[in-house]
Structure 1
Amino acid sequence: MELLPGEYVVKKNIMANLFKGIEAVGGFMQITNQRIVFKAHALNVQTGPVDIWIEDIVQMGKRNTLGLVPNGMRIIVANGTEYRFVVWKRGELMALIDEIKRDSMTR
């Protein structure tokens, strides 16, 4: 991942799955002070990276994978796009993203 001017990594190498349609794309998430970057493993059908700008996040919430497993996280951005992730320690990640968003709004 190439960092942008003024950008730095806050948390890296977070194992995650991102649902793209019905495919749960496995990969890694990096959280910077400006964005969430998801990079898929090369073995997936859909391998393109996904950047979610933290300033564009309008809603985050917990979700249960398959309606049962409490390991899902949902992020909705200003244009209405919804990203559905499977991650461990979703509460900690959501709190970290909230903190980054609050900090960026005070600058």
Structure 2
Amino acid sequence: MKLKRNESIVQENIAANLFRGREGVGGKLTITSERLYFQPHSHNNQTQPLELHLNDITAVEKRNTLFVIPNGMKIKMHNGQEHKFVVWKRAEIIGMIQDTKMKQKMTVIIKTR
């Protein structure tokens, strides 16, 4: 993953699985000041990365996997897409994403004034 100009890493190497159809794609999630970036491990069937811009995210929610395991996270996008992840310490990760989104909004407000 290549950082963009003025972009910084908030947290990297977060072990995660991303549900793509029936496959739970294993990989690493990175949170930056501008986006979420999921890089699958090379041994998965689906190895294309996923990049989600923070300003396109409408909600980050807790969800249970297999109906009862409290380790899921759902990311809802403005275009109606949803991305479902399995992560450890999901409350901490959701908090990081929400805090980063808030800081990004504050930066935009300050720059436009």
Aligned to 1:66: 66
Matches within 5 A, 1:55-94: 55-94=55-94
Q: As a proportion of its length, which structure holds more helix?
A: 2
> Which residue identity does 1:17 align to in structure 2?
N
SS in 2 for 1:48: coil
> Which residue identity does 1:24 align to in structure 2?
G
1:100 corresponds to 2:100: yes
| Count of aligned residue pairs for this structure pair | 107
- Structure 1's unaligned 5+ residue stretches are none
> Which residue identity does 2:48 align to in structure 1?
G
C-alpha distance in 2 between matches for 1:106 and 1:3? 21
Aligned to 1:21: 21
Deviation at 1:106, TM superposition (A): 1.1
Superposition CA RMSD, Å: 0.6
Moved over 3 A (4+): none
Aligned to 1:49: 49
Larger Rg: 2
C-alpha distance in 2 between matches for 1:10 and 1:106? 16
> Which residue identity does 2:29 align to in structure 1?
M
Q: TM-score, normalised by structure 1?
A: 0.98
| Cα deviation code 1:57-94 (max 9, x no counterpart) | 10111111111110000000111110000000000111
Q: TM-score, normalised by structure 2?
A: 0.92
